[in-house]
Structure 1
Amino acid sequence: MRGADAEARAAAHLQGLGRELLQRNYRMRGGEIDLVTREPCGTLVFTEVRQRRTRRHGSAAESVTSRKLALMHRAAQSYLIREHGRDDLPCRLEVVTIDGPADNGVLQVLPLNT
């Protein structure tokens, strides 16, 4: 349930930034996007949420691998085609990290360069 708590906190944070939450846990064969939001300017944002209760195995940001980034990119393209019929809409990928407990750990929004 901790993953769901982290995703709920991340979604609330992103909505607080003025984004519209379009979908949670978009799944496709071989990949998933935790949150899909739309910024007020219309840009779609595909978000991976990562939480680490302790730093014993590294930070939440350090848990995002190149393989995960590739899967996110593929899932984002799938979403664009399935939901909008095209893959050339303005969009970007990001990771929301929470280091510590889901309810009050340090939350950061990290844009990704892909």
Structure 2
Amino acid sequence: MLFNLGKTKAPHLLRGEQAEQQALAHLQQHGLQLVCRNFRCRYGELDLVMTDRDTLVIAEVRFRKNARYGSALESVTTAKQSRIIAATHVYLATHKSNCPLRFDVVALSGDGQLDWIKNAF
């Protein structure tokens, strides 16, 4: 017997997807081109892989409804940065690129504020 198990996502996952879509739209409005979304490997996930002219941009998207546990920017800890860098090594091993590399953070808050930090780490 087969059961129809609907794939309803948890609210926090839906908010994350909405934040990522908002960040993507913002970056595209500023001329960046999408290469890959949600690249996953054993070290973690790269939210957005984009190009900014001749530069490959790894954009980490962070959302915080409020700053009770720290801001969205503060949530990109050194441990998180290390996981992003490790995942980037895996990405580059399978997607060869000779262009410069940049790590950006797009932080969104529940009040609608968006902060784009180029060369965040």
TM range (shorter): 0.7 to 0.9
Cα contact 1:80–1:89 (8 A) shared by 2: no
Give 1:55's aligned residue: 67
4+ residue segments displaced more than 3 Å: none
Structure with higher Rg: it is 2
Give 1:70's aligned residue: 82
Equivalence map 1:73-112=2 (5 Å): 73-84=85-96, 88-100=98-110, 105-112=112-119
C-alpha separation in 2, matches of 1:55 and 1:11: 23
Quote how far apart the aligned CAs of 1:56 are: 1.1
CA deviation map 1:46-69 (0-9, x unaligned): 011001011111110011111100
Quote how far apart the aligned CAs of 1:89 are: 3.1
Higher RCO (Cα < 8 Å, 6 or more apart): 1
Structure 2 unaligned spans of 5+: 1-13
Equivalenced residue count is 108
Structure 1 unaligned spans of 5+: none
Percent pairwise identity:
43
